[in-house]
Amino acid sequence: MAMSRRLFVLSAAGFAVAATTARAAPGDEIVGIWQGTLALVSGAGLEAPGYASPELRIVIGDDGDVQVFMMAREDGRQGFEEVKPGSFRMGRLGPNVVIVSIDAFSPLGQGWVETWSITATLRGADTLAVVFTRQVNNMPEEPSTEAIYSIVHSGEMQRVLPDHV
């Protein structure tokens, strides 16, 4: 029996997730458009400074491409807007997927670093179990929960047909 192997690598230079495989793994059914509102998780070390439960849309391509969208809720905007266009990378093995983006802004040595990670697995043909983590470090001189925080959401997303987006 042939065994499929995947190797996931997080590169310090580009923070890219790469996947290699000996043969196509099962789980192509995870390819598609997924949408849902995730619930805020509370616990030690988790903060949510004015952060509402997000309505997310994730588009998983069969070519390894992934896009993440969030429902706009401010400044009179409506509809889904892509988050961090082009920055998300994906690793996939069977019915599971890891989606990650890490970016920073650092003028004159000050700034911030932000990491988003989304892990998911198929719970059925049209249901995805999802955990979404966001960590922010605004690199303050004095650490505080307003400047350095972690947010976790979890829940389910449903498959959305392309003609319904």
Q: Look at residue 27 in the predicted model and tell me its pLDDT.
A: 60
Q: What is the chain's pLDDT, residue by residue, as a tens digit (165 residues)?
A: 444 333 333 333 333 444 433 333 456 789 999 999 999 888 887 876 667 788 999 999 988 899 999 998 777 777 899 999 999 999 999 899 999 999 988 766 678 899 999 999 999 999 999 999 999 888 877 777 778 889 999 999 999 988 777
Residue 78 pLDDT: 78
Q: Which amino acid is at 67?
A: Q
- What type of residue is 89? R
At 66 the pLDDT is 96
Backbone torsion region of residue 63, taken as left when φ is above 0, otherwise alpha when ψ lies between -120 and 50, otherwise beta: alpha
Instruction: Give dist(CA 68, CA 116) in Å, integer.
Output: 10
pTM score above 0.85: no
State residue 11's pLDDT score.
34
pLDDT given for residue 23 in this prediction: 35
Q: Which residues lie below 8 Å from residue 71, measured CB to CB, with a gap of 6+?
A: 54, 55, 56, 57, 79, 80, 81
